A and B are shown apart, each in its own frame.
Chain A
Amino acid sequence: MIGFTLNGQPVTTSAAPTARLTEVLRDHLGAMGTKVGCDAGDCGACTILLNGAQVCACMVPAARVSGAMVETIESDAADLDRLRAAFLRHGAAQCGICTPGMLMAGVDLLRRVPEPDEREVQDALGGVLCRCTGYRKIIAAICDTAAPETSSAEGIGASVTRLDGQAKVRGDSFGADYWPDGALTVVALRAPHAHARFSFGDLAGFARRPGVAGIFTAADIPGRNAFGVIPAFADQPAIAESPARFRGECVALVAFEAGTEPDLTDFPIRWHPLEALTTPAEAEAPGAPLIHPDRAANQLIEGRVTKGDAATALAGSAHVVTGTMQTGYVEHAYIEPEAGAAWMEGDTLIIRACTQAPVMDRDDCALVLGLPPERVRIIPSAVGGGFGSKLDVSLQPLIGLVTLKTGRPCRMIYSRRDSMTSTTKRHPAEMQGSIGCDAQGRLTGLVFDGRFNTGAYASWGPTVANRVPVHVTGPYLTPHVTARARAIHTHGPVSGAFRGFGVPQAALWQETLFDQLAEKARLDRLEFRILNALRDGDATATGQAMQAVGIHDCLTALRPHWKRALSETVPGRGVGVASCWYGCGNTSLPNPSTIRIGLSHQGRMMLHQGATDIGQGSNTVIAQIAAQALGLPLALFTLIGPDTALTPDAGKTSASRQTFVSGRAAKAAAEALRARLLRLANAGEGADMALDGTTLTITEGSTRRTLDLAALPRDAHGYALTAEETYDPPTSALDANGQGTPYAVYGYGAQMVELEVDPALGTVRLLKITAAHDVGRAINPQLATGQIEGGIAQGIGLALMEEYLPGRTENLHDYLIPTIGDVPPIESLLIEVPDPEGPFGAKGLGEHVLIPTAPAILNAIRHATGVRLTQVPVLPHRLLEALR
């Protein structure tokens, strides 16, 4: 037995002496607050204090803590409590998966340096990765742990502390953090080759090994072995039959008894590697084998937008620029690898896992498992970052299969390598084309051709191919457009959804060419963009007449910063700007959300909110919208769900749609509930409501009426009153030329980057980023700026360091994401041009914020050095080569 002191209490464990301390804390002692992101010291999620010093618990042998003092996020130390409060006050926790590690590293620092400066915070937290926040609010929180000024403001426009924040600063319950007693441990066997036939040997023999509870292959799948986020394109097997089509594809599952160490050594499988198509060029070459027999030339889909006659417009233009841009696979690199558990309740299969799309998961799992959807219940865990990849199912059908087949509970936790090799990526893009303007600098036309590597299966490839041509003009009035984007299959990782669905790639092409075009037109680069910015009433490339267009306001808000930055420019420094726009919600497809509010007999507003909060803040924003529309305090609300058994479908958390679409549904439900309450009291719309216990008082002028909620009958939902409303954005289908109204609401933004290039090393140091984003109405400004800062951090990664290479960067030390020292100070300018379609005028924001960062960085590098780069990431060796 190993004995030590855990958060002041003596504990003992029978764990093996070389077991990782993370396993001791989590599996043996049930302290789930310490998170595991990589098991390799690369992410710092498991940071704890060992005898007062921060260490990664994943690399501490159990025996070494014998007699030691261990402090974890479960500690109630006063200084940790103060830091927790500071994190909440500053909005320093988004998804919450890195938060325990950040807090422990922060406490380690504050005990050594009570009043640290920014540099000291960075040095102390340099070993903890965060993928959501962009780190700036974390730095601010650690530098400001003094007693808080509490604000009681809570209406629309107030920076309400996130309602789910307390759990996050104490170690929230993510996919890996709950499983029923006795749950089997499920492990996947994955393809080691990009393309390979395989055959099994003596599976029955392996199944007889001690501790092996079962082996499952494609032959065991009772339903349709093909899932996919877009039903018409569903093509991805949950467990592949031979051949495997990408490295990392699951080909078999092994379930181990609890307490058995999973060991797949000598698993009876023979591999026969086949020639792999690794690039779209190879896949499109005449005679190339087809990855899916029904998709000619390995093309999944082509998206097109044609307006006017772009070729003629360019031929008649005073200035034309032509160029290419190339991007690579980008990994989401959320700090929470996929994890979850499954069990049966009666004849219902329960799957609790991290997800962005519970109802889609339910329907996909039901199809794969051959069950009616009502026999599958999805309970989303807290989600430790998603960014698009947790829209597709990962382990849900796998653990569902094991539980369905064995009748026993099971759990599965992806290793970092499982997560990186088997889940989706941002589409690599090869883009080319031309943009023209007249002698005054007004845009005349744009021709664009993009080829996107969509990998082995469809996933969100169709969405990317359709979104890119719609958005490739940027938020600029472009009279003539010919744009085409094709998604091509290869034997690469599956490309899916990643913050922006292809638009960030297209913006890199368009915005970098804009700088050249502005130069030809002899216009200041910012003024060129202001001149061409879309205005209300202008038509987009799809012919949609726009309303509530905020790009002009965003760009002009940057003007004083731009002039200041240009005036401060010295050799080696550069300033760049780029814009974004982004349509919120599905492209020309139904995209409804339904929200239910139940008024309980105890006087609580039960907000059945099926939108998964993956850190962006929908739990808080949707509640704020509901409270404002209902006219009662936020404190009366209780959040229910998401849970497919308890919450109506609020759609998926993607495409920056939750504030807009689910927010509209919440507003409608709250208004409906308010109307019913006022009707019960015979009061008019302007009446005030107040709730004290179960007594609702409605005041209109000098008339006061009271309602005793406890006395109301139970309705079908068991509440005193229930309101449920659905909102579906008004869009229209695109015709053969891509003309129509693909989105009801768009958001806009522009970012300015100041940086310094080291010409001898080809390295880039970011000095400041100024970000102006039109959010329509900032429901919660702190959550909005949190999205901006986090999106910028991912944009920095896209521009300067991130490139996923199968077989080579399948971990978090070879695949680089920005650390706390890589994100410069960010000044956010929230612009509010209210959209009549948005709730209280609000627009989406989450994806927009990533789009301008990378092109603004490339434009600033060009300003500093004169070099136009045509490939990201701009690794030091690429920049130095371009400079020479």
Chain B
Amino acid sequence: MKNAIHDAMVITKRQLLQLARVPELLVFSTIQPVMFVLLFRFVFGGSIDSGQPGGYVQLLMPGIFVQTVAFTLASTAVGLAEDMKKGLIDRFRSLPISRGAVIIGRTFGDALLNILVLVVMALAGYAVGWRPTSGIVQITLAFLFLFMFGYALSWIGILVGLSVKEARTVQSVGFLVTFPLTFLSNAFAPTTGMPRALQYFAEWNPVSTMVAACRQLFGLKNEFGATANSWPSQHPLETSLLYMVILMAIFIPLSIRKYKNYSN
């Protein structure tokens, strides 16, 4: 067990070292979310009447936070697929290291990168007028939720990466999964305006419950679509927590098993 953690940390450190050696990687991982903040704030923000004190940006920021951590799924999957293609995973597998350490290390690395990205986004949000009104404990809890959500999705990314193998395909699959999930949600527009069937989907969508949970934790009253009478929209914190536990309970063992059995 001690070895497993040590090995995973070496792999995690490798990812941090990549950021140090190629700082552009960090710039590109943060530039897209910051771009989204600016686009939605200044392009759509002016014409969306949210009825929210402080304006649309208060509702927008939790949406963009969740969308960004959701993309961890794709980045984990792509990173792993590239390592496999280059034969690096074979090399790791020929070493006397703990089983699973390689993929656990990767999820840690991607989680650490998420912390950095969230910090940059929070600063960008603050610069364009985002002001959470709750206390420090609740704000911290919101970020903890975001962090955990990204970590849980990272494990789906591991399974996608191991199954699809080809980095470009993985990228497409990653986006195919995350785009509908983030837009068929309450992240950018209220679910109440959607057709009935979509509305059900949107309200049970983990992205929506996460967004609603963050909005609640940031001290918003109007949760922008989390007002319909479905159970998840009334209990966003509990539902989100449940989703994360379920995702990890399913995908961590599945991914580790897949990794152990993986062969070309």
**A joins B in a complex:** no
Query: Which residues of A are interface residues toward B (Cβ below 8 A)?
Result: none
